[in-house]
Amino acid sequence: MTLFLVVPAAGVGSRMKADRPKQYLLLQGRPLMAHTLSRLHDAFPEAVLVLCLDHEDDRFDASMVPFARWQRVRGGETRAESVRAGLASVAEQAAPDDLVLVHDVARPCVQVEDLYRLHAAAGEHADGALLAAPVADTMKRADDCGGVLRTESRAHLFHALTPQGFRYDLLCQALDAARAGGVEVTDEASAIEALGRSPRLVPGRRDNIKVTHPEDLALAGALLALPGGD
């Protein structure tokens, strides 16, 4: 079986308020994307990488890609569109039961051990699996004016992380159905759930942070600087 790694990286990262998309911001002298791809390669060097980039992206440098088998795909305006484009690009290579792991380009700190455990769980469970971290903070629901409406129980609540892994045919079916039904897809698991399926939650490390805001970049840099961080 072939393992496909789909990395959507066509966004502009507007919340970073930077002069370039966040995947090209520097961490320890290297673009964030390079760290993320290196971490994936550490775990799955034989995988096929599908990198979804904006068609006008002129900052990308192929030297950031450590994989022997990889391809650049034109990404879409949304994450779901980018992932669908990535899946379509390998339609002639992929078997229905091949595994696809989708990982945020802005998560450079994911640990190899978590990648292995997610891969194993996604292969074992028919509905796929995703890395997730139990909610630790007190959760508040706001009203329309920004006040506290109520405190929500955090029991059984998880932060969805990536990678998220599913069989090729199931993920294609889920994303196609979501688009046809107008279902909002914020991650791949939400599309699978819309089919009535139940992906397995795989506990992951909390330091698998997503670089979204300016302060996240400094935190990611500190994590990568720790012994064994990169």
- Please give the pLDDT value at position 224: 93
**Higher model confidence: residue 228 or residue 104?**
104
With respect to residue 230, please indicate whether it lies within any of the assigned structural domains: no
pTM > 0.75: yes or no: yes
Per residue in 61-92, pLDDT (tens digit) is 999 999 999 999 999 999 999 999 999 999 99
> What is the number of domains present in the chain?
1
With respect to residue 178, please indicate whether it lies within any of the assigned structural domains: yes
- Please give the pLDDT value at position 18: 74
Give how far the C-alpha of residue 218 lies from the chain's centroid of Cα atoms, to the nearest Å: 20
Domain enclosing residue 117, as ranges: 3-225
In this predicted structure, the answer to whether residue 115 has a pLDDT above a threshold of 90 is yes
With respect to residue 37, please indicate whether it lies within any of the assigned structural domains: yes
- Please give the pLDDT value at position 12: 74
In this predicted structure, the answer to whether residue 14 has a pLDDT above a threshold of 80 is no
Structure tokens at 221: 């840099």
With respect to residue 28, please indicate whether it lies within any of the assigned structural domains: yes
- Please give the pLDDT value at position 227: 80
Nearest Cα neighbor of 50 from 21, 12, 11, 93 is: 93
Structure tokens at 118: 């997610």
With respect to residue 119, please indicate whether it lies within any of the assigned structural domains: yes
- Please give the pLDDT value at position 118: 98
With respect to residue 95, please indicate whether it lies within any of the assigned structural domains: yes
With respect to residue 136, please indicate whether it lies within any of the assigned structural domains: yes
Cα atoms in the 13 Å half-sphere on the side-chain side of 179: 13
Please report, for the domain that includes residue 143, its CATH number. 3.90.550.10
In this predicted structure, the answer to whether residue 152 has a pLDDT above a threshold of 80 is yes
With respect to residue 114, please indicate whether it lies within any of the assigned structural domains: yes
Per residue in 161-186, pLDDT (tens digit) is 999 999 999 999 999 999 999 998 99
Count of CB atoms situated within 10 Å of the CB of 183: 16
What are the residue ranges of helices labelled H in the chain? Answer: 32-43, 79-89, 112-124, 168-181, 188-194, 214-225
Mean pLDDT of 189-193: 97
Count of CB atoms situated within 10 Å of the CB of 78: 16
